[in-house]
C-alpha cells in the first residue's frame, strides 16, 4: 500500500464512521477478513504460550516491558483497533466518530452495553479519566503523551460521547488512539484526580496485586499468577464482541502463559506439546522446520516482518566514562564502525538467511520505507580501520587495541539479550565483538535477559548495547524512540527532559535537531504525501549519522501446534487480541 492509498483509506474510514456489521439481534460483530481464512469453531480449550521472563507489572502504563504487554493486551481494549487483514484502523470501544472541518476535533460515540470484568458499566468517564490522568501524564512510565499534540483535551459530552480537542491537526491520530482504556473506579486513587501524585500511577497493579482488582473490557481476565512460573487468564463470558459468523468471542476458555527463560527449554516444551505456539528466530528455524517435515505435530510459519524487533548496535553518547562518551558521540566514530558490522554473516549464519538488510528503523515492507541501504556499504574491515586511523584513534602501544590520547586502551562493555524471541542477541554479540576486535576496539560481553538489557540501557547504565525496538505501521508511533529527547532515545538520554522541563534541544547535534523538528512537523499535518517526504528525510539522516547502527531486519517466524486454528500471522506478531479467534481443530 502506498501513502496515497493509505491516505484514501483513512479518509474513507472517517467518512463511513463505522466498520462494524450487526447481526439480526443487533449484536456488534467484527468485520469479515476473508484473506485470513478465519473459521467458525467449537468453544473450549486452553491455549498455552510462553514468556521469556515474568511480567514486571500488570499496569500497561506503569512499565515498559514487552512481557507485560503480551498478557495485558488480552484484557484491555482501545477506542479503535487494527483490522487484522489490512491494518487499517476500525472502531472498537468507540462505535463511530466524526471529525470537524478543521481536523482538530474528534467526537466519539462510545459503544453501549460494554462491561468491565467486575460488571461495572464502561462509559465516557473512563475514557476521559484514562487520557487525562494516565495516557497524557508524563510521569506515567508507559504514557503516550508524545503521540498527541501538546494541550490535547478530552471532554465528556454525555455518558456515551467523548470529544477530543487538539490545538493542531495530527496525521496519525487514529493510530495513537489505539491505546488501552482503563477503569476509573479502580485506578482513581492512584491519580492526581483522586488526590495522589502524578507518578503514583506507576505503583498501581503490581504483580502482587489482587487480580480481581485488575479489570478490563477485553476478552480475557486475570485469574491466577504464580511468580516466575505461570500466569492464567480466563474467558470473559460477558465479552461484547461477536465474529463475522455471529459467534460470541472468544472461543477458548483459558490462556496460560508459562514463564520459560531459556529458549532451548521453550523449544523442548513445544516439541513435547506443552506449548501451543512459539515465536522463534531464524536461528531455530532449521531445527524446527526439519522436525515439522519429519512429522512433528506443529507447523512453522514465516511472515513478512512489519512488526518484530530489528537489532541494532548502540553506543552511549552519555557514557559515565568521559573518554568513551566523547568517542561514542563523535559521528565520525560511528561512521567508521559501520563497515565493520558483518551483516551478511549475521543474516546467513545466525538467521539462516531469514533476514534482510535493515536500512532504517522503518520495516522494508512498510509503505513508509525509504531505501537507504546504500549507506550501509559493504563489510570492509580495511575501510573501518583506515577511517579510525584518520580520526587519530590508533594503537599506540602495539597490543592490538587502539588507545585514547592518554594511552588508555579503548575498552568497553557490550550488553545484549539472550531471550529475545525475534533476534538471538547472545549469538549476534560475539560476531560484533570479533569484528570490533578486528578494528582495534575491545568489547567485553555481558549477556543478560531482555528486560535487564533494556533496564540498563534505558537507565543510561551501559556503554554499548545490542537491542531492538519493534516496528509499527506509521513512523509517528515510534516517536518516543527515534525523536531526540524521547522517552526511549536511550543512547543520548541527557536530551530527555527532567520533570516539568522542556526537551533539551540546545544540546542536540544539528542532525538531531533536524530529526526533532521533522517529528514535530510530521505529527501536525494530515497530508500523507508531505508526511512521507519528511519521514524520508528522517530515514536519510539516520542512515548518514547513525544514532544507532542497524544490523538486520529478521523475518517473523512462529511454530504453531497442528491442533490450533485461526492463528493470525499475516504480518507477523500483532496485538494479542488475535487470541479472540483461536480455536482448537482437534
Q: What is the pLDDT of residue 572?
A: 60
Residues of the chain with pLDDT under 50: 1-26, 575-576
Separation CA 535–CA 543 (nearest Å):
12
Q: What is the pLDDT of residue 3?
A: 38
Choose which CATH entry (3.20.20.70, 3.90.76.10, 3.60.20.10, 3.40.50.300) describes domain 3-34+62-203: 3.90.76.10
Domain limits, the chain: 3-34+62-203, 211-306+555-584, 311-554
Q: What is the pLDDT of residue 567?
A: 87
Side-chain-side CA neighbours of 266 within 13 Å: the count stands at 27
Separation CA 260–CA 229 (nearest Å):
8
Span 311-554 CATH architecture: Roll (3.10)
* Cell reading at 360: 532504517
* Cell reading at 202: 506507576
Q: What is the pLDDT of residue 82?
A: 84
DSSP letters for 470-501: ---SSGGGGHHHHSTT-TT-GGGGGGSPPTTS
Spatial contact of 138 and 189, defined as CB atoms under 8 Å apart: no
> What count of other Cβ atoms lies within 10 Å of the Cβ of residue 371?
13
- In eight-state DSSP terms, residue 111 is P
Q: What is the pLDDT of residue 484?
A: 97
Separation CA 253–CA 230 (nearest Å):
16
- In eight-state DSSP terms, residue 570 is B
Q: Which CATH number applies to 211-306+555-584?
A: 3.40.190.10
Amino acid at each position: 500500500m502506498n501513502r496515497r492509498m493509505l491516505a484514501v483509506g483513512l479518509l474513507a474510514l472517517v467518512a463511513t464512521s463505522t466498520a462494524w456489521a450487526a447481526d439480526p439481534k443487533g449484536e456488534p460483530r467484527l468485520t469479515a477478513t476473508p484473506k485470513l481464512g478465519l473459521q467458525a469453531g467449537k468453544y473450549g480449550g486452553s491455549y498455552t504460550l510462553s514468556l521469556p521472563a515474568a511480567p514486571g507489572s500488570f499496569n500497561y502504563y506503569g512499565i515498559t516491558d514487552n512481557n507485560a504487554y503480551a498478557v495485558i493486551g488480552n484484557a484491555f481494549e482501545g477506542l479503535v483497533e487494527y483490522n487484522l487483514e489490512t491494518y487499517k484502523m476500525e472502531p472498537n470501544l468507540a462505535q463511530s466518530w466524526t471529525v470537524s472541518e478543521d481536523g482538530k476535533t474528534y467526537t466519539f460515540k462510545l459503544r453501549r452495553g460494554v462491561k468491565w470484568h467486575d460488571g461495572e458499566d464502561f462509559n465516557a468517564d473512563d475514557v476521559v479519566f484514562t487520557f487525562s490522568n494516565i495516557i497524557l501524564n508524563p510521569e506515567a512510565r508507559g504514557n503516550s503523551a508524545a503521540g498527541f499534540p501538546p494541550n490535547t483535551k478530552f471532554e465528556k459530552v454525555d455518558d456515551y460521547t467523548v470529544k477530543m480537542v487538539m490545538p493542531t491537526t495530527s496525521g496519525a491520530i487514529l493510530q495513537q488512539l489505539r491505546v488501552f482504556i482503563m477503569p476509573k473506579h479502580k485506578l482513581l486513587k492512584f491519580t492526581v484526580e483522586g488526590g495522589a501524585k502524578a507518578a503514583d500511577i506507576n505503583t498501581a497493579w503490581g504483580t502482587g496485586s489482587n487480580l480481581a482488582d485488575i479489570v478490563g473490557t477485553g476478552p480475557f481476565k486475570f485469574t491466577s499468577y504464580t511468580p516466575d512460573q505461570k500466569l492464567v487468564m480466563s474467558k470473559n463470558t460477558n465479552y461484547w464482541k461477536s465474529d463475522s459468523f455471529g459467534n460470541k468471542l472468544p472461543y477458548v476458555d483459558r490462556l496460560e502463559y508459562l514463564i520459560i527463560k531459556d529458549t532451548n527449554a521453550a523449544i523442548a516444551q513445544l516439541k513435547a506439546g506443552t506449548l501451543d505456539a512459539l515465536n522463534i528466530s531464524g536461528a531455530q528455524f532449521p531445527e524446527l522446520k526439519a522436525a515439522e517435515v519429519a512429522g512433528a505435530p506443529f507447523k512453522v510459519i514465516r511472515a513478512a516482518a512489519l512488526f518484530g524487533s530489528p537489532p541494532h548496535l548502540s553506543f552511549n553518547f552519555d557514557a559515565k566514562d568521559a573518554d568513551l562518551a566523547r568517542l561514542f558521540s563523535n559521528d565520525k566514530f560511528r561512521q567508521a564502525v559501520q563497515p565493520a558490522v558483518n551483516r551478511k554473516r549475521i543474516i546467513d549464519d545466525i538467521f539462516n538467511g531469514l533476514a534482510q538488510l535493515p536500512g532504517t528503523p522503518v520495516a522494508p515492507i512498510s509503505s513508509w520505507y525509504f531505501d537507504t541501504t546504500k549507506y550501509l556499504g559493504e563489510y570492509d574491515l580495511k575501510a573501518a580501520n583506515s577511517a579510525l586511523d584518520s580520526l587519530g584513534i590508533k594503537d599506540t602501544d602495539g597490543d592490538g587495541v587502539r588507545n585514547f590520547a592518554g594511552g588508555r586502551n579503548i575498552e568497553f562493555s557490550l550488553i545484549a539479550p539472550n531471550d529475545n524471541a525475534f533476534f538471538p542477541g547472545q549469538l549476534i554479540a560475539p560476531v560484533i565483538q570479533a569484528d570490533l576486535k578486528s578494528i582495534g576496539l575491545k568489547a567485553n560481553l555481558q549477556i543478560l535477559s531482555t528486560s535487564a538489557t533494556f533496564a540498563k540501557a534505558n537507565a543510561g547504565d551501559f556503554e554499548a548495547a545490542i537491542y531492538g525496538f519493534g516496528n509499527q505501521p506509521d513512523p509517528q508511533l515510534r516517536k518516543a524512540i527515534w525523536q531526540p529527547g524521547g522517552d526511549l532515545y536511550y543512547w543520548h538520554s541527557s536530551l530527555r527532559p527532567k520533570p516539568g522541563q522542556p526537551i533539551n534541544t540546545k544540546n542536540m547535534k544539528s542532525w538531531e535537531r533536524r530529526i526533532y523538528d521533522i517529528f514535530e512537523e510530521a505529527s501536525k499535518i494530515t497530508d500523507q504525501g508531505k508526511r512521507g517526504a519528511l519521514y524520508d528525510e528522517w530515514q536519510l539522516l539516520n542512515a548518514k549519522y547513525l544514532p544507532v547502527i542497524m544490523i538486520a531486519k529478521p523475518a517473523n517466524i512462529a511454530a504453531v501446534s497442528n491442533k490450533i486454528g485461526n492463528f493470525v500471522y499475516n504480518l507477523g506478531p500483532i496485538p494479542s487480541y488475535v487470541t479472540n479467534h483461536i480455536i482448537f481443530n482437534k
